[in-house]
Every structure is written in C-alpha cells, then in structure tokens.
Structure 1
C-alpha cells in the first residue's frame, strides 16, 4: 500500500482558519467529523505517513475517499457546527454513545391547568420541569410519596382529573389521600399552583426555609395545645428530612454543578454524570462510549460535554461543570455554554477537597460501569452461544469453535519480537492457558507467525506421550500442556499472515484446524486461499468475539514485550547515572553473561577499571531493584519452547 493517500489536498490548499472537516467514503457517507482552530495544522496530522498513524486512525483515513472542510469565523462557531454535523450524520468513527438504560425522571407538568407530578422516561413533555435522573423507578416513587405529604399536588392522570372536575367527585387517588389537586375540592387552582411552586423550589435546592417554617409552626401548635395539628406538622417535617437524607449534602449548600467521572481504555469509555443542585446529588446517569479513533482524555471530555448540553434546556445547564481533565478548547466550550444558558458557565478540574473526593467516587462508579460494559456480552450465555454459532456459519465450519486460540506479533522497530497466544473456551477467556513466545530471529511478521504456530502445533503431537507422576506410580498416558487442539486459530492480520499460518498448519499435518485472520483496516475476516474477505455485520456478536480475541492477544503481546524491554540488561544499565555505553560494554565483556553480572557483589563490580566503589554500589542497587520489581510483578514463564 502506498504511504500517501490519493485524496490528500495539495500544498497550501488547506486554509489556516478555524473550521470543521469531514472525511467521506467512496459512497459519500460521512465517516468522521472534527473541528480545528487551524485546519491545515490539524489535517496534516491525518496525512502523515501511514505507518506512523495509530491503527484505528489509519483505518479511518484509508477507508475514506475524500476530505472536505468548512471555514467558520470563530472557534465557538466551529464547536457549534461540529455538534450539528455529528448529530446529523452520526459518523461511525466519532465516539458512539451507548446509554446503560433509559433513566426515569420526576416530571411536573407545568403547562397543565393543574400541574401533576409523575414518573416518566420521556424527556420531551411540553412545558414539563424535570428532576433526576434516578437510578431506579421505585426511588422516584418513594420520593414522590414523601413529597406529597408536605406539598399535596396532583398525582392523578389527565383523564381522571377531567372526569373529576366534570362530575365534582374526587379522583380515586384524591379519595385515599394520594392526590391533592383541585379535583379533591380542598384547594383552588391558584392555591394548587402555589403549592406546586413550593414543591419545585424545594426540589431545586432543598430550601431549608421549609424545614424552619414547619418546625416553628409545630412548636407553636404544641404550645397552643393543638396537638393534632402539631402531629400533622411533625409528620410533614419527618417526610422532608427523609427526602433530604436520601441525598446527603456533598458540597456547600449554594453549589449548583454537574460532575463527570470518566474511566477509559483503548476501545471504550464509561461516563458517570452527577447532577448536583443545592449541594446535593439530585441525579445520576451512566453512559458507555465506543471509541473508534484514538483520542485524548481532554478530547473525550469535549465530546461528552457537547452531547450532554447540546440539546439541554438553559435551566439544565449549571453555572459550574467539574471534569477530570480540561478539554483543549475549554474557553470556547465555556463561551458556547454561556450562550446556551444565558449566564456565565465555568469548566474546572476537581483537584482538591470535597470536589476531588466526589470526583473519585464518580470515577470509581465509571470504572465499575466500564467493567460491566466489557463483560456483559461475555457473561451472557445466549450472546456467547449466538457468537459461536454465527462464527461457525460465517467460516463454514462443521461445528462451533468451542476452543479458539488467537495469535499476535509485537515488536519495537523490528527488535524485541514477541508472539502471544490467548485462549477462549466457550466464548470465555482462559487466562491460565495464555502463552508468550520469544522470537530470536525473524524476517517479518509473516515469518514470526509461521515460527510461533510451528512451535505451538508441535505440542499437539505429544498428546499421547507417556509421562511419570514423579511418585513411582505406574506410567499413565496424560495430555501435556498445550496438547488440547483448538477448533479455530485466529491470527491478527490479513491475507499474508493467514497464508503464513496456513503453511504452518500444512507442515505440521493439522489442516483439520480452521483458520482465519482479522484485518484491522475494515475488520474483515480473511480465510486461506480466498480472494475476498468475509465481512461480518458491525453489530454481529461473532465480530465482537473476534475483536475481543484480537485485542486481548494484542494486549498480551504488548505486556510481554514491555517486560522483556524492562529486563533487557542494556536498557537497565543505561538508566544508571554515570554509566555510559563504553562502561556498559566493559561490564558485559568482563562478566561474560547477564546472570553473572546480576549475581556479582559490589566489590566485584568495583574491580573493573573505570568503575569506583560509589558507581559500583549504584549499579548493584539498580540491578537488585529491577529483580525485586520483576518478582513482585509475578512475571510468567516464557514461550512454550520445544
């Protein structure tokens, strides 16, 4: 593949103004929308040499067939246009939101003649005032039951209210004391509206004036020996305190803010949104995000704030937004939010005190939500069964692949080449059977794949070798490690990698094992001796399973390579202050081996010319620290070498 994209704009063609750009595929579909303060500077990053791009960015630019841009007057305009285009085109390479659920809200229908309080998941009721979201429906009902004891507003349906007003007979909730609307005959429409206003005022800030007022009235009634009225007021006071106790004071009572906790990995992120009004957490919602491109934490926060506040009513935008990291265009976001709210909005990082503690709590919740998101499909037996069945059908296998092994190669600019093998059984990872392979000499990735699979497949032929049990008992035929044959082998790569793996299968005499490869560019599945790949639907459970296998193999290979680099003696010695390349060569030449150097005493190291006692002590201490670090990491054995 050429290292240059055919649709790359010519030199000087891209303006340096702020603006918004769109990548499109050959069919004209918008693949990605982004904004930039300097279009030329931003877009040049996408047209860098392909091998330098992140794999998912490379997949996007190679899938695209054209790029276009729109210049805007200000950075705030670019932010607004980016949001509109993302909402309009739903580009597949922008972050994709997957709300954990549709959260319930408490709504007061202010547009009605006699407003009612209700539980709803519909955020588009005309003229309604919303509170929440709440984690559970029963939590909303409990709050309403407590609130109407103090602020008896209407709870009946519109049909019941209309019928009651026409007949003069209270609705059923009104007959049992669960509805305090005008249809009950206890209040007028004007008096009911005043109670609704008090209800909203209390929910907006937990106004303590209601507590003080009820306490004073209760004491006055008791002093006047009106004990029945005092008991009624006492019960109302208890209801208010119960509502306040359900949402403890987490910040100063005059604080209105939204706080966002974020947890992320390379592919996904989870967001925990705390709605804080009057210093109390009035609502909590959770969102999970699929990241198609590699974006920074600040850019992710930017996208989250645009989504949350893009269609929000002005009253739902607080004066302060607390985030874990500032987005790169925080000033423009603040101006955009100010224009939407009509008042100043501050975006700040929660760094210390109560804010930082609350952010840690939100981040912990986000981490748990991310873990649930990653494991939900895996733990779902039906989803796993469907994934294995779909994979069997797509690959033309005679039986479902109950044991799947996936292989990946990782290297650092051609050095420290390692291979990884991850194992899934019944759609679940078997981490105790993961293995890593050290590759001493190789020409390229295809040769590395061939070497790794040749070494692994050699163990299948040892299944029937007799082994002793070490205690003098009779010989028994046992399956050795790695002797369990997989039904499916997956390699990370396209046609060349699959052909190399197929050659290893032929040479080892195990062509009965199914084989495929997953290419990163379009997530297509390549089969041996096939001219065209198999394209699985983006929503396919089978594709999700194969992607998870590929990503797990990639992660495991990288972690093994990093451990190897850490153990590389030259890398370790190069970190010792005062120890240059010449002294490193002299140390290795003098002791002859890495193990001898690691086992040397301070005095033995100091005997080498040019290295005094002080430097010898530093070298010895550094090597001991590396040994302790490796031991504490519980580093596993190397490859299953024959």
Structure 2
C-alpha cells in the first residue's frame, strides 16, 4: 500500500536516473493512469522543477494536487525538439491527462464539411471532425455564422446540400432548390460531374480564403456569358459576384496587403486563460473565435500560446501561411516547422511589432481580456445562484446540513429489457462528471421482468455496499474509488412514493449516518420525504426546485444514453454475428461504412464490393447469403 512517505524514496530514485536530454515525460498516479505529459530540452531539469518550490512563484493548488498524485515517472528520449513537441501532443491525445493545459470542452464547435469521397460532394454544417475523406473548415464562432456562410455559398456555387436521390441519374424532376437558383440539380443530370466539381473547387477556394480567386472566376464567367449573348446567365453571374463582394467589403480590414493570416492573442490571469483567433483571408476578417483554456495556473503566456496553437491547428484544420502571436515563443521555429508539415507548405510564426498586423493583434488581445472579465462575472453569478439553490433546498427539506454533495439515481429500460441504472453527482450545485457511475441491473429486472422498485432497491443496495467496502481502504490505495467512498448529503430518487420506499429500505445504513433521501415525481414535481405522508410542493420558479430538476434530468439523460448503448450493441450482435466470413474486425468495417446493421442488410452487391478492406469474394458471398435469407 503506497503512502506519501513510502512513495517518496522511489520517486527520488527515478528523478536521479532521468536523462539530461530532450524528450517527453509522463506522470502516472497510483492506478497507473497518466495524469500529466510534458516535454523538455532537459528531461531531468524539467521534471525536478515540478518538485522544487521557488520563492518567486507560489505553487498553485492544482499543481500541488498533481505533485501529490504522482507515483511513477516515465520518459522517452527523442532526437529533436520538433519530435518532442509532436510526441507530447500524440501522448496528450492518447491519454487525455487531467493536469495538462487544454481547451475547455464546453461545446462542440461548428464546422463546414465537404464530402470529398462522393462523386458529387455535399457541403454541410457539422459539429464533428473525425470522419475520413471529409474536408473541414472552421471552427466557426457560431452556428449562425456557419449557416449564413452556407446560405451565401449555395446562391453562388449551386451545390447540393441534400442527402436525397443519388446524383448522376438522367430522369426525374428536380426539387425546389433548383427552381429558386440554389442548386444545379445534379440528382437529375442537369449538371455533369466535371461542372459540379468546378463548383466545389470554388467553394473550397472561398472557404480557404482565396477570395480574389473567387472574384476573378465569377467575373470571367460573367464576361464569357455576355460575350456569348447569354444575358440572363451573365446577369446571374453578376449578381453572384456582387453578393460575394458585398460580404467581403463589410469585413475588409484597413489594408489588403495584410494578406492571409491568423492573429492569435492570449490573455492570462491567475487560473484563467482566453485565446482569441482572428482569421484574415485576402485582407478580409473572415471570422473571430474565442476559446477558454484549463490548467494554466503554472504556465506563462508563451507556454499557453504554444499549447493552444498545437491543439487549435489539429487534424483537418487549414493552416494559413502566417500566424501572428503577441510575443516571440520559446519554440517558435519548432512550431513553424510543425505547422508547415500540417499545411504542406511554409508557415511563418512571428510576433508583430508595428503596422496593421500589430493593430489587429492589440484588438485581439483586448477582446481576450474582455472575454476573461465577462467570464468572471458569469462565474460569480453562477456561484451565487448555486448558493441560493443549496440554501433554499436545505430550508425547504429541513435538512441538518447544506446538501453540498447530491447523488441522483434513475432506472431505464425498454419493455423490461437491458435494464440499467445511473448515478449522477452534483457538488456545490454543479455536475461532477468524474463521479458519475452506471449500473447493469443483475436481478430479475435485468433479464426481462420489469420491476422499477426492485431495480432501485438493488442499485441503492450496491451503492451502500460499495461505500462500506471503500471505508476499509487507505486513501492512497489504488483500488479506492472516491466516487463511492464519499458520503453524500442528499440522495435524490427519480420517481414517486414506491421508488422512495424501495430506496429507503436499501439505504438504512446511510440514513443512520445523517444522509437525507427524497424522491422527485415528474407529473407535478412532487417531492416525497420518508415518514411524511404528503409531498412537498416547491414553487416552480424557485432555484431549489430548478436544481432538483437539473439533477433529475441529468440522471435520466445519463441512464438513457447507457441503455441505448447496451440495446444497440445487443441488436448489432444479434443481426451481424451470424453472417458468414464476418468477424469482429469486418463487422466494425461494415458498420463504419454503412452506419447501421439495417443498412448492411439492405446493401446491394455493388455497395458491398465497394467497402474498403472487404475482399470481393467475401462481399459476393455475403450478398448471396443475405439475398437467400431474405428470399
């Protein structure tokens, strides 16, 4: 069993043995989980700096927590600083360490995607960025920005946005988009594949910021149509050109010579950081984005900027020829080399000292500082609202203590199948997702005999049993689970009197230790308390009821998600596992390609033969089997 005193000599020996060269190091906790990844010109000096207090720089609480948690150090020597930077990022993506600087993942950023693997590519709004054979542009500052951009592009380039009939046919009628001049109708053969690809090239040029190229091309088409006396077509091209020019004029910066670049400014204050990115394309400010970063307390602006650039310019993101930062970075040359590799051409990363670029940088920095100030105000308002909700809840329920830790339980099933339960945790009135837990119901309710009362009794009995088990473990034991080891102040059960009775019977040990238990019924939001015949009715506009509703709804969402995963996995197994010549790897390949088991079963022979990685013979045998089975 490891304790702070017994682990210290081992760490000291590991630190003494560290090499004095460039590379990457990993900190692991008592469970072997990677909690921090770092890079250094000298691994030994950098690692030792984590464990050495300096008088000029007080150690933050987060950094102190990390140092206390470290029980093992590993390192990897590399041949260059560029390789160290790249290896560090690969490890961060792989392990998602708790204490590394990272973008706050509080939303899915919007992108524009182009399906380049299709003969007639679609251009569409998306919030994911992982599909193969997709060209992604973004992230954009808002969904509204994406939709406005797509609205303009459909008018100018007439691409398809639907997932309807497969393009390339020579029959049928076009949809409304064709008649209102928002699509060229490739679905009925009005546009050849070559002509359509030319339109997509225009979309790519526009989204890449090559605005002058787009303007020249539209002007050329307008003049060509006029010369051929196709005056209606010439008027259409003129209107498209004017639409593009009107948009660009509104966003043009003071000097077109600024060119194509990104301006990146970082504001850092205490434990908070904000990054602003101004995207300038052909002298036009095409978008402005704001990002918040976590785990920055021990970093300076240069370190935060470097980590932000590495994460922002990830896979699928277009890198401009120049990136302007607020001051010279320590690894500036290495960063430029890495971005050049991602762009496929030279990239200059430098600070701006004067001129229009400096003015843009100053503007971005002011926006970053303003964003931090606004976030502080919002955080303070949220904190006050949570305090009011907790105080109100204590008064309304007559609790002895403030319900700082609330656990909520919910049961989910579909006609008695795949019954699961969820436990969500709120601390200080906010979700603590690291403590969320899921349970697979083991009793009769878990094998097709629906009984929500029995299910609730089972899951709460297991919760209490887990708490008892954890009390026998040392706080430093790797087997200890803090989610179960911590005693809640309040347990909320999703349901009415019946669920509460089932839960209270299982939680007598908790009740004897002062833990309060209630249930919340959905119909009119009645709050039931053990030993009280009548429910408590809270006003719907009170923060205490709104907190209970958030907790209950989150437990329901978490349970439903887990239930769907189990149900879908069972369906996939039952449908695909009997197919001849299809093992686990090929099953994943088919599902990734078609999207669902049902789509696999209805696929044509040609579609099966087109699946990457599936041999033609296997595809034909599979089609024959499915056809014989369905016939």
Normalised to the residue count of structure 2, the TM-score between the two structures is 0.56
Q: Paired residue for 1:331?
A: 333
- From the superposition, tell whether residues 266 and 389 of structure 1 become closer, same or farther in structure 2 (CA, over 3 Å): farther
Q: In 1, distance between residues paired with 2:45 and 2:224?
A: 72
Structure 1: gaps of 5 or more residues: 402-425, 428-531, 542-642
Q: Paired residue for 2:198?
A: 194
Map Cα deviations across residues 482-518 of structure 1 (whole Å, 9 max, x no partner). xxxxxxxxxxxxxxxxxxxxxxxxxxxxxxxxxxxxx
CA contact (8 A) 1:147 1:243 kept: no
Q: Paired residue for 1:374?
A: 376
Alignment of 1:426-437 (within 5 A): none
Alignment of 1:473-622 (within 5 A): none
Offset at residue 120 of structure 1 (A): 2.0
Alignment of 1:360-439 (within 5 A): 360-380=362-382, 383-386=386-389, 397-398=400-401
CA contact (8 A) 1:133 1:284 kept: no
Map Cα deviations across residues 319-345 of structure 1 (whole Å, 9 max, x no partner). 222112333222222222233333322
Q: In 2, distance between residues paired with 1:140 and 1:333?
A: 29
Q: Paired residue for 1:319?
A: 321
Q: In 2, distance between residues paired with 1:154 and 1:10?
A: 60
CA contact (8 A) 1:170 1:185 kept: no
Q: Paired residue for 2:592?
A: none
- From the superposition, tell whether residues 177 and 341 of structure 1 become closer, same or farther in structure 2 (CA, over 3 Å): closer
Q: Paired residue for 1:40?
A: 44
Q: Paired residue for 2:24?
A: 20
Offset at residue 48 of structure 1 (A): 2.4
Map Cα deviations across residues 12-61 of structure 1 (whole Å, 9 max, x no partner). 52221112122222222222221110122222322325887524333322
Q: Paired residue for 2:294?
A: 290
| Correspondence for 2:77 among 71, 81, 84 | 71
Q: Paired residue for 1:582?
A: none
Map Cα deviations across residues 224-270 of structure 1 (whole Å, 9 max, x no partner). 99865554344223212123235324664573322212112111111
CA contact (8 A) 1:250 1:280 kept: no
Q: Paired residue for 1:154?
A: 160
- From the superposition, tell whether residues 383 and 296 of structure 1 become closer, same or farther in structure 2 (CA, over 3 Å): same
The count of aligned residue pairs is 405
CA contact (8 A) 1:20 1:35 kept: yes
Alignment of 1:65-464 (within 5 A): 65-99=71-105, 101-155=107-161, 157-161=162-166, 165=169, 167-183=171-187, 185-208=189-212, 210-211=214-215, 228=232, 231-249=235-253, 252=256, 255-291=259-295, 293-312=297-316, 316-380=318-382, 383-386=386-389, 397-398=400-401
- From the superposition, tell whether residues 15 and 203 of structure 1 become closer, same or farther in structure 2 (CA, over 3 Å): closer
CA contact (8 A) 2:24 2:76 kept: yes
Q: Paired residue for 1:490?
A: none
Q: In 2, distance between residues paired with 1:175 and 1:166?
A: 18
- From the superposition, tell whether residues 161 and 87 of structure 1 become closer, same or farther in structure 2 (CA, over 3 Å): same
Give the secondary-structure state (helix, strand or coil) at the position aligned to 2:12.
coil
Q: In 2, distance between residues paired with 1:361 and 1:135?
A: 17
Q: In 1, distance between residues paired with 2:395 and 2:84?
A: 47
- From the superposition, tell whether residues 338 and 197 of structure 1 become closer, same or farther in structure 2 (CA, over 3 Å): closer
Q: In 2, distance between residues paired with 1:390 and 1:50?
A: 44
Q: In 1, distance between residues paired with 2:268 and 2:286?
A: 25
Offset at residue 192 of structure 1 (A): 1.6
Give the secondary-structure state (helix, strand or coil) at the position aligned to 1:23.
strand
- From the superposition, tell whether residues 118 and 312 of structure 1 become closer, same or farther in structure 2 (CA, over 3 Å): closer
- From the superposition, tell whether residues 304 and 210 of structure 1 become closer, same or farther in structure 2 (CA, over 3 Å): closer
Q: In 1, distance between residues paired with 2:263 and 2:346?
A: 17
Map Cα deviations across residues 415-446 of structure 1 (whole Å, 9 max, x no partner). xxxxxxxxxxx99xxxxxxxxxxxxxxxxxxx
CA contact (8 A) 1:171 1:184 kept: no
Structure 2: gaps of 5 or more residues: 405-427, 430-484, 490-542, 544-631
- From the superposition, tell whether residues 127 and 305 of structure 1 become closer, same or farther in structure 2 (CA, over 3 Å): same
Map Cα deviations across residues 328-374 of structure 1 (whole Å, 9 max, x no partner). 22222222223333332221012211111111222222223223333
- From the superposition, tell whether residues 384 and 311 of structure 1 become closer, same or farther in structure 2 (CA, over 3 Å): farther
Map Cα deviations across residues 194-245 of structure 1 (whole Å, 9 max, x no partner). 2222332244334435545655776898899986555434422321212323
346-355 vs 244-253, greater mean Cα deviation: 244-253
Q: In 1, distance between residues paired with 2:353 and 2:113?
A: 34
Offset at residue 288 of structure 1 (A): 0.7
Q: In 1, distance between residues paired with 2:80 and 2:339?
A: 15
- From the superposition, tell whether residues 110 and 339 of structure 1 become closer, same or farther in structure 2 (CA, over 3 Å): closer
Give the secondary-structure state (helix, strand or coil) at the position aligned to 2:140.
coil
Q: In 1, distance between residues paired with 2:73 and 2:488?
A: 25
Return the index of the structure with the highest Cα Rg: 1
- From the superposition, tell whether residues 86 and 198 of structure 1 become closer, same or farther in structure 2 (CA, over 3 Å): closer
CA contact (8 A) 2:390 2:402 kept: no
Q: In 1, distance between residues paired with 2:184 and 2:284?
A: 27
Give the secondary-structure state (helix, strand or coil) at the position aligned to 1:8.
helix
Give the secondary-structure state (helix, strand or coil) at the position aligned to 1:9.
helix
Offset at residue 392 of structure 1 (A): 9.7
Q: Paired residue for 1:612?
A: none
Q: In 1, distance between residues paired with 2:247 and 2:129?
A: 23
Map Cα deviations across residues 522-573 of structure 1 (whole Å, 9 max, x no partner). xxxxxxxxxx99899xxxx9xxxxxxxxxxxxxxxxxxxxxxxxxxxxxxxx
Give the secondary-structure state (helix, strand or coil) at the position aligned to 1:28.
coil
**Please, what is the CA RMSD of the aligned residues?**
4.0
- From the superposition, tell whether residues 200 and 75 of structure 1 become closer, same or farther in structure 2 (CA, over 3 Å): closer
Q: In 2, distance between residues paired with 1:390 and 1:355?
A: 53
CA contact (8 A) 1:100 1:287 kept: no
- From the superposition, tell whether residues 341 and 143 of structure 1 become closer, same or farther in structure 2 (CA, over 3 Å): closer
- From the superposition, tell whether residues 131 and 167 of structure 1 become closer, same or farther in structure 2 (CA, over 3 Å): same
- From the superposition, tell whether residues 115 and 220 of structure 1 become closer, same or farther in structure 2 (CA, over 3 Å): closer
Offset at residue 146 of structure 1 (A): 2.7
- From the superposition, tell whether residues 383 and 210 of structure 1 become closer, same or farther in structure 2 (CA, over 3 Å): same
| Correspondence for 2:34 among 30, 53, 56 | 30
